[in-house]
Amino acid sequence: MSPLQKHIKQTGLKRLVLAFGYSSQGFKAGWREPAFRQEALAAFVLVPLAFWLGNTWLEQAMLVGAVVAVMVVELLNTAIEAAIDRVGPEWHDLSKKAKDLGSAAVLMSLAFCVLVWTAALWHKFLPA
């Protein structure tokens, strides 16, 4: 029985334990990606800073959420790239399109994060 079949047939706590294990493996795989490592290290600094910079829980949530969103999109982009690479090494228009779309999603999440943090810093140090 494959690990996926083993997971699907489980219920309750056993299924949650297996799902946590698969998620842990995903984080380990993500950590092997330089872009994800850089974003995780930035998050190590930015998340605590968000609690100093944000005045309300909503501001803090936006700052933290923008950072977490970048990491989530990076993991999804890495998953897309891995799936495309699994299909084969030959160049194909649809493979390129999938990878380019994943890259564009990362860029959009990074731009959003920069905008949120810039606005928060502006508000903190250059109030109107």
Q: How far apart are CA 42 and CA 124, in angstroms?
A: 20
Catalytic residue among 39, 59, 74, 90: 74
What's the Rg (C-alpha) of the chain? 19
Right CATH number for 34-125 from 1.10.287.3610, 1.10.3720.10, 1.10.10.10, 3.80.30.20? 1.10.287.3610
- Look-up: residue for tokens 């005045």? 55
Amino acid occupying residue 89: P
pTM assigned to the model? 0.88
Q: How far apart are CA 5 and CA 16, in angstroms?
A: 14
Give the start-to-end residue ranges of the domains of the chain.
Answer: 1-32, 34-125
74: annotated active-site residue = yes
pLDDT per residue rounded down to tens, the chain (128 residues): 676 666 667 888 988 898 899 999 999 999 999 999 999 999 999 999 999 999 999 999 999 999 999 999 999 999 999 999 998 888 899 999 999 999 999 999 999 999 999 999 999 999 77
Q: DSSP letters along 43-100, please?
A: HHHHHHHHHHH-SSHHHHHHHHHHHHHHHHHHHHHHHHHHHHHHH-SS--HHHHHHHH
